[in-house]
Amino acid sequence: MTTDRLITQEFSLNLGPQHPSTHGVYRVILTLDGEKIVHAENVIGYLHRGIEKLAETLTYPQFAPYTDRLDYLAGVLNNIAYTQTIEKHMQIVVPERAQYLRVLFGELSRIASHLVCVSSMALDLNSFTGWMYAFADREKILDLFEMTFGGRLTTNYARIGGVSKDIPDTFMSAIRSFLDSFYGRLKDFNDLVSFNQIFIDRTKGVGIISADQAIDYGLTGANLRASGVHFDLRKKSPYGLYDRFDFDIPVLQTGDCYDRYYIRILEIIQSLRIIEQVLQSIPEGTLMGDVPRVIKPLAGETFHQIEGAKGLLGFHLVSDGSKSPYRLHIHAPSFVNIGIIPEIAKGMLIQDFIALLASLDFVLGEVDR
């Protein structure tokens, strides 16, 4: 019997919203032929809280804590993006020390977010131990957060015009001991997961996204750089203090799941370089700039974006001169990144699809907003 005479029947499978490896309440309707995906359709919105609408009813400082709830794995970066948007609009000068602290905690939360990505990828390919290793390190970063400003995930650190808290006296020794142990542990993690032959077999050549495809679908962040596009806002158009630090932008060429995974490890190393430089050169000074008591930006529009942990995180602010925004649009990188899934998923096996989901590293808090 030849294979083309063998009649098979397609069936649809609802992956999620409650599924171990959809990283939240993401749901995808798969049409399967055996274990091969014929068609995939994203279904999102299970975590939709209407944050953009809420912004229109709140004052500017009141909205800052809501930004933690976007990409809850890198809360500080969201705070920074939001506050910088308003500072840009109102031309507020942020003190030097506050800027340094923003870079420090921004990079720490970038590492924390990337650690979640690489470890979840390990977990999705069933390397449970690798997951535990990276999460233990992330835990130490969250301890540093807690030590400084109390929150772990819901950070609310950056204020309009500065930051909320200074680092405590014990912070320097704590971060030193974390950094000293972290390099060795990253090597352990690499040996256990990144250079494991089974892991490489599962991810190399799987879910390839070409550079043109990535740009066409608006992929940003590490996902874009893994496809060979050298594009990082921290270098291309530095915001904050990023032009003062010496670091590289890792770029990988293939754009498969392994590259998207491994580029995050490389970015962690670069973030560590930035942190080392911050720790050496952080100046003394005040934490808050000259900010009016009531924040009432002039009427007008501002668009500001930063290199978030998942990609370009942009805030489009339309102000009418009142105490609350007329319109605040949040350009969430994860929301755009998952738009490519139906295209790439065609013809994949379920197992590869899981690797693809993990490698795209989306966070549902940011997708649904």
Partner 1 sequence: MNIAALFNELQPIYKDKLLLSTDTTALIITQDQLISLLSTLRTRHGFNLLALLTAVDYPDHYQMVYHLMSTKSADMVTVQVNVSKSSSRVPSIVSIWSAANVQEREVYDMFGITFDGHPYLKRILNPDDFTEFPLRKSFVLQSVNRQSLS
Partner 2 sequence: MTQFLFNFLALLHITGIIADVIVILCYFVFILLFIIINVMFIVWLERRMSAFFQERLGPNRVGPFGLLQSVVDAVKLLGKEVIRPTATDKWVFLLAPAICFVPALLLYPILPFGKGLVLVNLNIGLLYFVAISSTTTISIIMAGWGSNNKYSLLGGMRTVAQMISYEIPLIFSMIGIIMLVGSLNLVDIVNAQARLWFIHVQPLAFMIFLIASIAELNRAPFDLPEAEQELVAGYHTEYSGMQFAFFYLAEYANLFSLSILGVTLFLGGYQGPFFPSWIWFIGKVYAMIMVYMWIRWTLPRIRMDKMMKLNWKFLIPLSLFNILATGFMIKAWPTIQQWMR
Binding residues for partner 2 (CB under 8 A): 11, 13, 19-21, 35, 122-130, 132-133, 136, 192-193, 196, 198-199, 201-202, 349-352, 354
**Does the protein bind partner 1 through residue 23 (CB under 8 A)?**
no
Choose, by CB under 8 A, the member of 12, 57, 126, 351 that binds partner 1: 57
* CB nearer to partner 1: pick between 215 and 287: 215
Interaction partner, residue 329 (partner 2, partner 1, none; CB < 5-8 Å by kind):
partner 1
Q: For residue 15, list its beta bridge partners.
A: 28
Stretches 39-47, 99-107, 193-201, 283-291: which one binds partner 1 (CB under 8 A)?
Answer: 39-47
**Does the protein bind partner 1 through residue 228 (CB under 8 A)?**
no
10 Å CB burial of residue 213 (0-12, 13-18, 19+) is middle
Residue whose pair of structure tokens reads 């009016």 in the numeric block: 292
Q: How many residues bind partner 1 (CB under 8 A)?
A: 40
Find the shortest distance in angstroms from Cβ 201 to partner 2.
6
Q: Torsions phi, psi of 309, nearest 5? A: -70, -30
**Does the protein bind partner 1 through residue 343 (CB under 8 A)?**
yes
Q: Using CA atoms, how far apart are residues 332 and 338, in angstroms rounded to an integer?
A: 11
Q: Using CA atoms, how far apart are residues 256 and 360, in angstroms rounded to an integer?
A: 10
Q: Torsions phi, psi of 151, nearest 5? A: -85, 155
Stretches 109-117, 143-151, 282-290, 331-339: which one binds partner 1 (CB under 8 A)?
Answer: 331-339
* CB nearer to partner 2: pick between 11 and 183: 11
Q: What are the tokens at 227?
A: 């496809």
Choose, by CB under 8 A, the member of 190, 326, 349, 350 that binds partner 1: 326
**Does the protein bind partner 1 through residue 48 (CB under 8 A)?**
yes
Tell me the CB-side half-sphere exposure of residue 203, using CA atoms within 13 A: 30
Interaction partner, residue 201 (partner 2, partner 1, none; CB < 5-8 Å by kind):
partner 2
Residues 6+ apart with CB under 8 A from 148: 105, 157, 165, 166, 167, 168, 171
Q: Using CA atoms, how far apart are residues 335 and 333, in angstroms rounded to an integer?
A: 5
* CB nearer to partner 2: pick between 196 and 213: 196
Do 120 and 80 form a contact (C-beta atoms < 8 A)? no
Choose, by CB under 8 A, the member of 303, 323, 349, 350 that binds partner 1: 303
> Which of 93, 92, 149, 98 is closest to 285 using CA atoms?
98
Q: What are the tokens at 215?
A: 């740009």
Q: What are the tokens at 165?
A: 């808290």
Binding site for partner 1 (CB under 8 A): 42, 44-45, 48, 50, 52-54, 57, 215-218, 220, 224, 229, 231, 233, 236-237, 300-301, 303, 305, 312, 314, 316, 318, 326-327, 329, 331, 335-336, 338-340, 343, 368-369
